[in-house]
A and B are shown apart, each in its own frame.
Chain A
Amino acid sequence: MPVNAPVLFDFIHLAPEIILSLWGLFVVMIDVALLRRRSSATRGRILGVMSIIGALAALASIYLPDMMDLGHAASNVEESLFQGTILGGLLVERLTALLLILLIFVIALSTTWDLTEHWGEYYALLLWATVGMILLIASEELLTLFLTLEMMTICLYIVTAFEKDQRRSAEGGLKYFVYGSVSSALFLFGLSLLYGLTGTTRLAAIGLALAPAHTSIGLVGNVAGAMAVLLVLVGFGFKISAVPFHQWAPDAYEGAPAPVSAWLATGSKLASIVALMKVLVQALGPWAHGVNDISSPGWVGIVAVISALTMTYGNFAALAQKNLKRMLAYSSIAHAGYMLVGVLAVVVGAGKSAAGPVLFYLVVYSAANIGAFSIAAWLYRDKGTDQIEDLNGLGLKYPILGMCVLLLMLSLIGLPGLAGFWGKFFMFSEALSQGDDRHKLTFLWLVGLGLMNSVISAFYYVRVLRAMFLRPSTGRPLQAPTLTIRLAVIGSAAVALIFGLYPQPLSTETDAMAESRIFITPSRPAELLSVSPVRVVPRPNASDDTRLRAGPIGGGPSAPPEPTPVPDSRAK
């Protein structure tokens, strides 16, 4: 058994997760012990503020390894913690920070209206779901992967059904649960086959054990391997709501309280996409397709088809929606389709860290969705429904928020000058620059379809804007929004605008994050068996941008000799 470092060291790296877990218990206890006699609304507000304090404490604790000088430059290096089950390093730290910031907005939105009496449990479950997401991103092994995935989704099943006096909330929760647990059973069976075929549960070791399988025929004749790949893809397809495993998403998003829908659309999807990339590249890389032949059996073809179906179906179904949350659900399905194109580019360009654009897209997409769902929360508070027609006249009555929503919707369409455009631009151009001619043809199809879909998506996003700016106000008037709604909408519009005008800082950051070793198919035993820090990830602020973009992976000044990634099919 490889033993890494003092155990205390590992626990310090895990500080955000530990703080969040304990804080969840703390919040429940405070609710039960001290706030018994307060009204539901007061308890919601007090506990909301407390949960935000907990999230801020966790955010601060990310930098604990840096602050406590632990003998070596802690976060310059990607460590394997807890005997190679959990990853620590730049990528995980930054994504943890991102998830915690999103969580703070989600908690703040939850105080918009009195959605439940059980505030303590509600906030605790949100915090614990976040622990699951953070560990899902960091997991390096099948068991932790499965456990954290379940930790995330089981908490989310409950909060989806939390608005107990609403019929649709209970129904959304049950549907999410049934689809979710069936898909995790399928996923688990796939993992068990993968364990049987390779004899290990560590992702890098699986990739290494499968390396001899990287032959010219791909998965032909390998029934067990094909089953494992298919089942794993079904499991992840469900979590990222890819067609044909998307049926739960519209119902769960519509039924759940708006803050929870926001968390389903951002946190859960973000963590699952990163985990999908990690598993596909690190463990299943050799089964991507046969050497020299992208069309031979392997999962690249399957993922390409899923991606095409997902973006097309998501956009066409969104066109028909009248409910704002349901429309956003289909739009998030479509965005998952775009991101799968980016994921494919990561696989084909293994070692070139094409993951940066996908991470960029995830940041931009998450920020925009928080803003959009906070509008849904506002509608629901004042009108009790969240139909798009309830937005009528809102843009004229609240011009600043109206302009912010305008920016958000245009960014989601991908109009130039806004962050959403750069997200799509980086991701699609990365996809087109990968691989040889045969890859290019596949990617050309996918990117073309993606661009066509962006045009289609304009129709339903513009419907929101048309209701807001061109229709007279109808029905009960909206009351002034709470401070939390204003902050969420203005904040996410600011992200769309600032990173639209200056995408460079964010793309430099995401490119640095993408240098992580989890986006590289492992290639030689030395890299795998040494659990000591393997790669040096250059700090983005300590190095100039050009080197990060153009230099070899981990080519920092003090980098150890680098293992060359597996020569992909195009090299032969």
Chain B
Amino acid sequence: MNDIPLTWFLIFAAACFVIGLMGVLVRRNAIAVLMAIEIMLNAANINLVAFWRYGTPVEGDSPISGVMFAIFVITVAAAEVAVGIGLILLCYRRWHAADVDRFDSLSG
């Protein structure tokens, strides 16, 4: 269990986070952006669970706050995807495209 040091998890999470961020910045397709956001949220989840597993809770604090946090983040991510897909569909019907840089009627 203790064979893998905490830093490995943190490096993995940071790498996921950067991949997600790059995806958001580089990809034009709205669905791909949504996927990239999910990767970023999961990176944070890895962090939370790793810190929970390797850390000691402060006295008077819940011993499972890290995993609880991660579970709720998964729920929030699901809600966010549902709303996001709905909005993308709504825009797709108007523009017949799912590229974020096509939606440019508002500016200034």
Contact = CB atoms under 8 A, between A and B. Distances in A.
Contact of A181 (B59, B60, B72, B80): B80
B61 interface: yes
Contact of B106 (A2, A185, A205, A254): A254
A142 B69 contact: yes
Interface in B33-48: 33-34, 37, 40-41, 43-45, 47-48
A198 interface: yes
Contact residues of B: prevailing secondary structure: helix
A150 B90 CA distance: 21
Interface string B61-88: 1100110110011001001100110111
A114 interface: no
Q: How large is the interface on A (under 10, 10 to 19, 20 to 34, 35 or more residues)?
A: 35 or more
A451 interface: no
| Leading 4 A-B pairs by shortest Cβ distance | A196-B51, A185-B40, A192-B47, A200-B58
Interface string A72-91: 00000000000100000000
Among B41, B51, B79, chain A packs the most CB atoms within 10 A around the CB of: B51
Interface residues of B, number: 50
Contacts of A550: none
Nearest to B75: A147
A359 to B, nearest CB: 29
Contacts, number: 141
21 contacts: A157-B83, A158-B83, A168-B105, A170-B90, A174-B30, A177-B83, A178-B30, A185-B20, A186-B21, A186-B40, A188-B41, A188-B73, A189-B43, A192-B44, A192-B45, A196-B10, A199-B55, A199-B57, A200-B57, A200-B58, A528-B60
Given A147-B72, A188-B41, A199-B58, A177 B87 contact: yes
B79 A150 contact: yes
B108 A202 contact: no
B33 to A, nearest CB: 6
A161 B87 contact: yes
Interface string A111-129: 0000000000000000000
A164 B90 CA distance: 8
B60 A185 contact: no
Given A201-B69, A254-B106, A195 B48 contact: yes
Given A83-B62, A178-B33, A185-B40, 5 more contacts: A143-B72, A158-B86, A174-B90, A199-B55, A201-B66
Among B56, B61, B88, B107, chain A packs the most CB atoms within 10 A around the CB of: B61
Nearest to B10: A196
Contacts of A184: 80
A22 interface: no
A142 B43 CA distance: 17
Interface in A288-314: none
A205 B47 contact: no
A185 B91 contact: no
B37 to A, nearest CB: 5
A458 B60 CA distance: 53
A142 B48 CA distance: 12
A150 B55 contact: no
Contact of A191 (B10, B44, B86): B44
Contact of A199 (B47, B56, B88, B103): B56
Interface in B1-55: 10, 13, 17, 20-21, 24, 30, 33-34, 37, 40-41, 43-45, 47-48, 50-51, 55
Given A182-B24, A192-B44, A195-B66, A171 B51 contact: no
Contacts of A171: 91, 94, 103, 105-106
Interface string A524-543: 00001100000000000000
A476 interface: no
A167 interface: yes
Contact of A143 (B43, B45, B51, B68): B68
Contacts of B56: 199
Contacts of A191: 44, 69
Contacts of B21: 186
A170 B13 CA distance: 34
A195 B103 contact: no
